[in-house]
Structure 1
Amino acid sequence: MSRTVTVGLDGSQESRAAAEWAAREAKLRELPLRVVNVWEPVPEPIAQAPLLGPETQQHWSARIPREAAEGLRLRHPGVEVTVEQLAGRPSEVLPRVAKDSELLVLGSRGLSGVGGFLVGSVGQLVVAHAERSVVLVRAGEQAADEHMTDPAGIPSAATPYRPVVLGLDIDNPHDAVIEFAFDAAALRNTSVRVIHGWNPPPYYAYGLPADLELHDQLTREQTTALTEVLRPWREKYPAVEVVQESRWGRAADFLADAAREASLVVVGRRIRRSPIGAHIGPVTHAVLHHSAAPVAVVPHE
């Protein structure tokens, strides 16, 4: 695997925002940035139309990443930027591209008026089938959005980074997901806010609201279990502050709420090698559609 940060660029506003985020991430990781444009040839009848032959289409498709790369080099000095154009369907090409990268970054339209992403079919398929981590970035995402507010209450790139939020299932914790979040926090010199949502066993459910003692007992048990899962990671990353929350309720709701004050949200996705369908899991799916911050989806076995 080549150690690069790769971004898929098609010229849209959301893909340009993703390219800016990817360039900042490449600088943090001290890695080169690979700008990939996937050129999908037009159907034969259209390709034969005057002024819209395949050569013309490919020329304009190649111009988009080339000009974008020039701008990225100017705005992010010190980041090595390369450009590559590939032919095929983006939903098929980009997962293959991800295999050769440390990280794949894609743009996604923001939901008008509320936090979250409008994840198109290509984005969902790439997230579902990529076997490397994929970060989705909303259109309009800026460097200042990842940082704390200044004394005037305005986000500023000169202030510290906001926390990295990690959604963690302590029944099936996966090292790749946890390590990604701690690495991201260490790079940003910020904290990790670990959120674990849980529900009581079915046989407790009916009596739980009235039984505060039982509720407290289950909360203590879940908190202790979360602490034990995180213990080796606190030792591995002693400079990273860890804030942990174990709460009764829907994890997706807690993560969406925490995303408003996050620089990045990290969630996991189990690798499924079926060629049919886009399976990204209910919590990850919900976070993608409701997070106000960039979301990193980390695959695991």
Structure 2
Amino acid sequence: MLPPVIAGVDGSAESLAAAEWAAREAARRDLPLRLTHVWNWHPRQDDGEPVTAAQRHQAARVLRQARGRVRAVAPNIRPYDEQMEGPATAALLKAAEESELLVLGSRGLSGVTGFLVGSVAQGVVARATRPVVLVRAGEEPADEHLPAPGGRPSILTGYRDVILGVDLGDPCDTVIAFAFEAARLRGARLRVVHAWQPPSPLGLGPGEIGLVSGPQWAGEWLGFLSAVLQVWRDKYPGVEVAETVVEGRARSALLRAASGASLLVVGRHLTDRPAGPRIGPVTHAAIRPHSRLRSSGGTPIVGCPVAVVPHE
């Protein structure tokens, strides 16, 4: 059996939005969809609490509600469901091992863009060995698509850009492949972003400062980015690619680029650390509300789903 797209559902608005997004993704990938409900999802419940009739009834109701939402957005998808006993993070990590990707909900902030990532979602993102997609509450099918003439929301128009953040100091094939495939499945443009910072004058040799300019550095990085992507352009000739190099911090560049996108793709190292698994600063910025950028008008920047792809 093909590995499924799995959505973690708990009856909340954000988890139902995740189920809908997972259904659309399963349809795009021609994969089965599994809806997973975990007892002890809520932190107030004690780990190891016996499964009661009330819990079983609640789980069945949550899964039934999620199936209804799936049918509404992807009528050709026939999801199957499962109930698992918590702790929630451990159960979802186990489910993720069997998946093509795991989809979880993240609460939107006051109806606007941005993420509020709870301890369960953050723990899964930090430890999963399979891609995890975070979807905010209120995510609608039309949000993935370009607006119709006159600015009206539509699901009949083309997809918005897929955004990929690339660290040219450590470009990872696993993350790049995920982004190219996501763009191919959508028929979307892939916009690849690399942020660079000029070297400190202390790192330059005598007489070199006057020979270096911002445009020269930008040109060098753009050439490097093009070289890294060439093999992927050859592998995915049908994907339109736009390359962007930006002077500044990577987290700021990615958050700005993700405004109006259909999906933001970032990577996370799988390397073990003495302090345990961690989310890198760029990925952390993409999924945490306190790190999100605001435009000059005070509007939050990031609102699209975020795919966190683990890699060696």
TM-score under structure 1 length normalisation:
0.90
Q: Percent identity?
A: 51
Q: Deviations over 1:109-165 (max 9, x none)?
A: 112365310111111100000000000000000000011011111221111000100
Amino acid of the structure 2 residue aligned with 1:293: C
Contact 1:9/1:37 (CA < 8 Å) preserved in 2? yes
For residues 189-208 of structure 1, what are the structure 2 equivalents within 5 Å? 189-203=187-201
Amino acid of the structure 1 residue aligned with 2:95: V
Whole-angstrom CA distance in 2 between matches of 1:228 and 1:296: 24
Whole-angstrom CA distance in 1 between matches of 2:136 and 2:276: 24
Match of 2:297 in 1: none
Whole-angstrom CA distance in 1 between matches of 2:110 and 2:252: 19
**Structure 1, 227-236 or 65-74: larger mean CA deviation:** 65-74
Runs of 4+ in 1 over 6 A off after TM superposition: none
Whole-angstrom CA distance in 2 between matches of 1:235 and 1:285: 32
Contact 2:67/2:79 (CA < 8 Å) preserved in 1? yes
Contact 2:145/2:157 (CA < 8 Å) preserved in 1? yes
Structure 1: 5+ residue runs without aligned partners?
A: 48-52
**Structure 1, 282-291 or 19-28: larger mean CA deviation:** 282-291
Contact 2:11/2:65 (CA < 8 Å) preserved in 1? no
Match of 2:32 in 1: 32
TM-score under structure 2 length normalisation:
0.87
- By how many angstroms is 1:56 displaced? 1.6
Contact 1:147/1:160 (CA < 8 Å) preserved in 2? yes
Contact 2:102/2:130 (CA < 8 Å) preserved in 1? yes
Contact 1:8/1:104 (CA < 8 Å) preserved in 2? yes
Match of 1:294 in 2: 305
Structure 2: 5+ residue runs without aligned partners?
A: 293-301
Match of 1:50 in 2: none
Specify the SS of the correspondent of 2:157.
Answer: coil
**Structure 1, 193-202 or 100-109: larger mean CA deviation:** 193-202
Q: Is residue 242 from structure 1 mapped to residue 253 from structure 2 by the alignment?
A: no
Contact 2:2/2:32 (CA < 8 Å) preserved in 1? no
Contact 1:129/1:273 (CA < 8 Å) preserved in 2? no
Contact 1:3/1:31 (CA < 8 Å) preserved in 2? yes
Match of 2:182 in 1: 184
**Structure 1, 64-73 or 258-267: larger mean CA deviation:** 64-73
Q: Deviations over 1:18-45 (max 9, x none)?
A: 000000101111111100000129549x
Whole-angstrom CA distance in 2 between matches of 1:131 and 1:98: 8
Amino acid of the structure 2 residue aligned with 1:28: R
Whole-angstrom CA distance in 2 between matches of 1:268 and 1:67: 32
Amino acid of the structure 2 residue aligned with 1:102: E
Match of 1:66 in 2: 64
Pair 1:58–1:83, CA change in 2 (3 A): same
Q: RMSD value over aligned CA atoms?
A: 2.4
Whole-angstrom CA distance in 2 between matches of 1:204 and 1:149: 48
Amino acid of the structure 1 residue aligned with 2:225: L
Contact 2:109/2:116 (CA < 8 Å) preserved in 1? yes
Specify the SS of the correspondent of 1:95.
Answer: helix
Q: Deviations over 1:21-76 (max 9, x none)?
A: 000101111111100000129549x97xxxxx822222212321133214423542
Pair 1:275–1:130, CA change in 2 (3 A): farther
Query: In the comparison of the two structures, how many residue pairs are matched?
Result: 294
For residues 139-178 of structure 1, what are the structure 2 equivalents within 5 Å? 139-178=137-176
- By how many angstroms is 1:259 displaced? 1.4
Contact 1:66/1:83 (CA < 8 Å) preserved in 2? no
Amino acid of the structure 2 residue aligned with 1:90: A
- By how many angstroms is 1:271 displaced? 0.9
Contact 1:31/1:79 (CA < 8 Å) preserved in 2? no
Match of 1:253 in 2: 252
Specify the SS of the correspondent of 1:110.
Answer: strand
